[in-house]
Structure 1
Amino acid sequence: MIGILGAGAFGTALACALSETQPVTLWARRLPKGREAPRLPGVPIPDTVRLTEDLEQARQKIVILALPAQALRGFLADHGAALDGRALVNTAKGIDLATGDSPSTLIAQSCPKASIAILTGPSFAADIARGLPTALTLACADQEAEALQHSLSTPTLRLYRTDDLRGAELGGALKNVIAIAAGVAIGARLGDSARAALITRGFAEMTRLAIRLGARAETLAGLSGLGDLVLTATSDLSRNFRYGRALGAGESFDGTITVEGAKTAQAVSALAADRGIPMPIADSVAALAEGRASVADTVLQLLSRPLKEE
């Protein structure tokens, strides 16, 4: 039995996929009416998924935290003690804006006896829910990592294992920032060449910061970094890309849609500044998200940076 906390698009998609091989309990404070998730139109929730608003029913041996990154700290403050001692698998891709902490750090602070894992990589919830082939990274340094890998794999959901939690979660968080930048390029009609440049130089930023924070370069070059970046910076299904495109075009964006990269850009910009790490693209995205700069000024600032070796 697996418990999933959070009935948003990704949590619901995982519930649909994992229920093919085992019982799943899906928890949310407010469950959707019927058995269709609002964020996954046309995808029914199988009868093998038990829906509940009672957190106790979802406290299984394995608990997947499918909560927004900026909501994780508050949730753990309220419920961390009840979840301690279990295998806690985080899916949020972000950095806490208030503290600068990663999801695994927040979990460890509230649940010191838990086995912590990160599930991340190039995936759209709709693809997972419909059983389309998807490969993800499962980062876990616990001795039970291999058993967890098998528990969370299905015939169409293939997990690759690593013990580099820092690299996996930073790759997932930072790629959202670059995906916003890529969207800005397209929304502002700067062209596909500009988007390719932003993706490439953005990946260099991601890797530079992650290594300084203790990650391994090969992790960033894998599914949880480069793989996820390619997907989210090139597809209209990416919320972060669509948000960036709206910024670039000067259009409004649906405020009810969670865009993890906007807050992450602000957290990353502050984090990098404290450590003296140059992150010009992340800084630009943070300024745009906060309304401190125009697209025209941001482009000019990036293009006027000193010439350098690659």
Structure 2
Amino acid sequence: MKFKNLSVLGAGSWGTALAQVFSRNFDEIYVWGRDKDLIEKINSEHVNYRYLPDIILSENIKASTDINYVVERADILIVAVPTQVTRDVLQGIDVSVNIPVISASKGIEIKTLKLISEIIRETLDLPEKNIFALSGPSFAREVALGLPTAVTLAGNLETGELLQSVLNTETFRLYITDDVVGAEIGGAVKNVIAISTGASDGLGLGNNARASLITRGLYEMTKVAKVFGGRAETLYGLAGLGDLVLTATGELSRNRKFGIFLGKGFSVEKALKEVGQVVEGVKTVKALKKIQEKYDLELPISEVVYQVIYKGLSPKEAVRILMSRQPKRETF
């Protein structure tokens, strides 16, 4: 396989950051987005003024509102659009069965409880060996700035090794695994746990509380991964623990910021407005609620996050509920 061009669906901060970091490895990078003005500015000024306004983009990055134009030019296709619109975006486009398609989105479709890799397989009718998931501790801004980052690429190991050699840069390192489910569940559920740590910080509950939520949150992530067929060991790696620690503690985390505003007494609507970008955990927790009920799982942190966002539970009361639960063993 020869990989000259790479295409990215999604002109948000993450899609743009991936285009930027991979631009040194490809002849041309094509980016699709819906916002005509944003796309024009990327082409004329080499800046994504909405999401990464102070970063000058490489000149070989070309943007378009024509999704078929972008897809047709791809030797590798990356999907980096919000989870709940992924199916709609992919419907009707024609992708060669020989092209690797990499999901860079993190979430679970609420209506179907399906992962992004499953949506890609259904909508694009691609062989499973060509579908991959990219996940791990990776703030878009730091990736775009060229700061050292290590992530997981999950999928077919043989093709994955080839992609690893093509995509690795001096600042962006990929480790491969064949556990797509584990990688995707880790990337999705950690956003919900990050909302809880943000709320804890917003309430001023201290470092002990944050560390406890991260640790017990990892346990919840592992339980969800197992019922979907993922492996616990994947959740102990970059796509699980690594991404969780970053998102639950990092200043650039949208989910943590949202949680902080909730902890400080902001309404859900005002907290979302203050963040100003998609907070994937808000939608993912609705999917987790359905998973919890379907598989009869005990997910106490995810449950109280759901109750705070959708049922009006106060963050202070959520803390009381968590701390007064019946004593039990640490693991089962």
Shorter-chain TM range is: over 0.9
One-letter amino acid matched to 2:53: P
1:29 is matched with which residue? 34
For the 8 Å contact 2:193–2:213, the answer to whether it is kept is yes
Matches for 1:1-310 after TM superposition, within 5 Å: 1-22=5-26, 23-31=28-36, 32=38, 33=41, 34-37=45-48, 38-59=50-71, 60-79=74-93, 82-83=94-95, 85=97, 86-114=99-127, 115-141=130-156, 143-251=158-266, 252-255=270-273, 256-310=276-330
Q: Quote how far apart the aligned CAs of 1:133 are.
A: 0.7
* Partner Cα separation in structure 1 for residue 66 and residue 88 of structure 2: 18
TM-score (normalised: structure 1): 0.96
Where in structure 1 are there 5+ consecutive unaligned residues? Answer: none
Runs of 4+ in 1 over 3 A off after TM superposition: none
For the 8 Å contact 2:91–2:124, the answer to whether it is kept is no
Flag the 1:105–1:35 CA change in 2: closer, same or farther, 3 A: same
One-letter amino acid matched to 2:10: G
Cα offsets for 1:249-272 (capped at 9, x unmatched): 112324341000111011012112
One-letter amino acid matched to 2:145: R
One-letter amino acid matched to 1:30: D
Where 1:25 maps in the other structure, the secondary structure is strand
* Partner Cα separation in structure 1 for residue 96 and residue 157 of structure 2: 15
Return the structure number with greater helix share: 2
For the 8 Å contact 2:202–2:261, the answer to whether it is kept is yes
Cα RMSD, aligned residues only = 1.4
Q: Quote how far apart the aligned CAs of 1:210 are.
A: 0.8
* Partner Cα separation in structure 2 for residue 176 and residue 84 of structure 1: 32
Q: Which stretch has the larger CA shift, 137-146 or 89-98?
A: 137-146
TM-score (normalised: structure 2): 0.89
Give aligned pairs, total.
308
